[in-house]
Amino acid sequence: MTTTARDTDLASALVQTMHRLQDVHAETSRPLGLTPQQAHLLCVLIAGPLGMTELSRILSIERSSLTSMVDRLERRTLVARIPSATDRRACQIELTPEGLSLAHDAHNAVVDRINTLTADLPASTRRTLATALQSII
């Protein structure tokens, strides 16, 4: 016996939260003209340029999927492929100024939206929640 009723409650609460947040993510991305996946990609790049392989690892998608995603974003001049100086095969994906601005918009939109969802929680609960979730990731 390894699980109790409480375990199932926590797990299903997490699953439901995931679905709710997916909806929020989609709703905040769409008005910006981005799919949730595109918004995710742009937000990851805020920290700095990344190679295709590293980016695919962070986003948990195959490189072949990433290629076409980057194609579409590059066509809209939101990102740019920069050839690596040291390795002629590799390239770095970098946000353009326009892409950076949109990435910030997308990030702020979703953070704001989530903050309103969690606004009712007391500060102590917020802290417990944040640290507990950190340990899950």
As a whole number of angstroms, the distance between CA 72 and CA 93 comes to 13
| Only segment of 49-57, 63-71, 98-106, 128-136 that touches a second copy (CB under 8 A) | 128-136
Nearer to DNA, 44 or 52 (CB): 52
Pick out residues in 19-48 that bind DNA (CB under 7 A).
Answer: 26, 35, 37-38
Q: Report if residue 67 touches DNA, rule: CB under 7 A.
A: yes
Q: Report if residue 40 touches a second copy, rule: CB under 8 A.
A: yes
Strands 50-51 and 79-83 come out as unpaired
Residue 5 binding: pick among a second copy, DNA, none (C-beta 5-8 Å cut-off by kind)? none
Q: Residue from 14, 31, 63, 130 that binds DNA (CB under 7 A)? A: 63
> What is the x/- site pattern for a second copy, positions 9-28, by CB under 8 A?
xxxxxxxxxxxxxxx-xx--
Point out which residues bind a second copy (CB under 8 A): 2-3, 6-23, 25-26, 40, 60, 110-111, 114-115, 117-118, 120-121, 123, 125-130, 132-137
